[in-house]
């Protein structure tokens, strides 16, 4: 089986945690690797952002990343990418034709890629599987006061993809219901396949390993540590954590608390400085350390160094950071939104918070930070909960879905030709 994965706006080779790279990058890279290791040939098509990388990157046997030139390498933000959809689609078609490649199925990720996948599906006459990862209607429903709403143009494009894809893949049942409610998706066209985590990399550390992690990060050994991992944008909620920390220290100025915020800015107006300035304004800057995004091999150090990982997003399709942290034995305090109630077992592997108010988050954090026995028990339970999610299982479910839609393609193509 040969699969064409489309990830136009961000490459799976890009470092997650900054720019437009995040959980979707981890999802694509992880599922593509696992599929490749089972003998499935996977080509991931993405927009070229630097000439030095070359057109084809051989990642491992059966897995390649194809960099398609569409627009300038640099200086093109995500909002301008729709102007390059035709150029990108043309580049994919040219590459496949010149290499004499025939794909069995297309799997597009995010709405920009879905538009390209829709065109390729009709040209190649092979089925289209689409994963939205985020939806305009859902983001606008859960938007923070500081964020800008998603455009109506994006929502329309998403509707077209929902209407034309052969199968829609979602992470949770809630995502399926969102597609039905906001986009009138047919339930039979939706398949729920939970994502996973690298449970071989993200593992609990010993007490000595935790001390080593804190030394490497310059964190006091005896402080209570809260970590945030992700892109620095309002939708991910780093400002919620900073305000909650200020509230905790207002209640108890002598609390021995430190915070790690690991990630890079994302979006037109986002900058690390705005969160540093907020910390300065609230008088907690000396308690917070900002770290640049880092690869998974180094990210595990952050998870192990933390007593608690905070995920204060306004919505998450699933919440990969929450699962990775739990796999590393660290309980999670997360917003009760999107897929996080599935990623986090409330009261067992972490705590879910019903609002984004600083007082509510301060209460939830204090609940774990001040109760060592409960926090340690949750950390132990978190490892078992995270073990329920694995990338090999996700990839196996995707391969089964691909085989199913491929079997039905001849009927769809025949009926379409007959109708023409």
Q: Is 403 annotated as a binding residue?
A: no
pLDDT (0 to 100) of residue 417: 38
Q: Is 324 annotated as a binding residue?
A: yes
Q: Is 134 annotated as a binding residue?
A: yes
pLDDT (0 to 100) of residue 51: 85
Q: Is 154 annotated as a binding residue?
A: yes
The four Cα atoms 131, 135, 138, 143 give a dihedral, to 10 degrees, of 130
* Beta-strand pair 350-353/332-335: parallel
pTM for the complete prediction? Answer: 0.83
CA distance 274 to 279: 9
Q: Is 25 annotated as a binding residue?
A: yes
CA distance 260 to 35: 34
Q: Is 180 annotated as a binding residue?
A: no
Q: Is 164 annotated as a binding residue?
A: no
pLDDT (0 to 100) of residue 317: 82
Instruction: List the domains of the chain with CATH numbers.
Output: 2-196+391-419 (3.40.50.2000), 207-386 (3.40.50.2000)
Q: What are the residues whose beta carbons fall under 8 Å from the beta carbon of 285, sequence distance 6 or more?
A: 276, 279
Q: Is 5 annotated as a binding residue?
A: no
Q: Is 16 annotated as a binding residue?
A: yes
Count of beta carbons in the 10 Å neighbourhood of residue 53: 14
pLDDT (0 to 100) of residue 270: 63
Q: Is 224 annotated as a binding residue?
A: no
Q: Is 314 annotated as a binding residue?
A: no
Q: Is 303 annotated as a binding residue?
A: yes
Do 7 and 44 touch, CB atoms closer than 8 A? yes
* Beta-strand pair 63-68/56-60: antiparallel
Q: Is 20 annotated as a binding residue?
A: yes
Do 71 and 87 touch, CB atoms closer than 8 A? yes
Tell me the helix, strand and coil percentages in the chain, rounded to 5. Answer: 50, 15, 35
Q: Is 330 annotated as a binding residue?
A: yes
pLDDT (0 to 100) of residue 416: 42
Q: Is 139 annotated as a binding residue?
A: no
With a cut of 70, list the residues of the chain below it in pLDDT. 16-21, 144-146, 267-270, 410-420
Burial 340-366 (b: 16+ CB within 10 A, else e): bbbbbbeeebbbbbeebebebbbbbbb
pLDDT tens track for 183-209: 999 999 999 999 998 988 999 988 888
Q: Is 79 annotated as a binding residue?
A: no
Q: Is 39 annotated as a binding residue?
A: no
């Amino acid at each position: 089986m040969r699969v064409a994965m489309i990830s136009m706006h961000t490459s799976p080779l890009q470092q997650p945690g900054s720019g437009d790279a995040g959980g979707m990058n981890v999802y694509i890279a992880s599922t593509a690797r696992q599929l490749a290791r089972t003998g499935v040939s996977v080509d991931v098509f993405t927009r070229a952002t630097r000439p030095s990388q070359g057109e084809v990157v051989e990642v491992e046997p059966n897995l390649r990343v194809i960099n398609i030139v569409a627009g300038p390498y640099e200086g093109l933000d995500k909002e301008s990418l729709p102007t390059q959809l035709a150029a990108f689609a043309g580049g994919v078609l040219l590459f496949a034709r010149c290499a004499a490649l025939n794909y069995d199925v297309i799997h597009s990720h995010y709405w920009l890629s879905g538009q390209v996948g829709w065109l390729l599906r009709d040209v190649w006459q092979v089925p289209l599987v689409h994963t939205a990862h985020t939806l305009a209607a859902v983001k606008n429903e859960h938007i923070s006061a500081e964020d800008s709403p998603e455009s109506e143009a994006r929502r329309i494009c998403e509707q077209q993809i929902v209407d034309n894809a052969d199968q829609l893949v979602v992470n949770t049942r809630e995502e399926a219901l969102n597609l039905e409610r906001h986009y009138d998706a047919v339930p039979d066209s939706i398949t729920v396949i939970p994502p996973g985590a690298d449970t071989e990399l993200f593992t609990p550390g010993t007490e000595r390993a935790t001390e080593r992690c804190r030394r490497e990060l310059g964190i006091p050994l005896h402080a209570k540590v809260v970590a945030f991992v992700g892109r620095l944008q309002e939708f991910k909620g780093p400002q919620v954590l900073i305000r909650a920390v200020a509230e905790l220290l207002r209640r108890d100025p002598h609390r021995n608390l430190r915070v790690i915020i690991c990630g890079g800015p994302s979006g037109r107006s986002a900058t690390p400085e705005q969160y540093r300035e907020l910390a300065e304004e609230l008088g907690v800057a000396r308690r917070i350390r900002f770290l640049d995004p880092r690869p998974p091999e180094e990210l595990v150090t952050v998870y192990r160094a933390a007593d608690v990982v905070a995920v204060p997003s306004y919505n998450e399709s699933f919440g990969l950071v929450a699962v990775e942290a739990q796999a590393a034995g660290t309980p999670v305090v997360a917003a009760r939104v999107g897929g996080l109630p599935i990623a986090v077992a409330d009261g067992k592997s972490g705590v879910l918070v019903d609002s984004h108010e600083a007082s509510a988050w301060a209460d939830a954090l204090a609940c774990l930070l001040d109760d060592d026995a409960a926090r340690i028990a949750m950390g132990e339970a978190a490892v078992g909960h995270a073990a329920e999610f694995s990338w090999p299982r996700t990839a196996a479910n995707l391969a089964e879905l691909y085989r199913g839609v491929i079997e039905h393609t001849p009927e769809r193509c025949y009926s379409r030709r007959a109708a023409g």
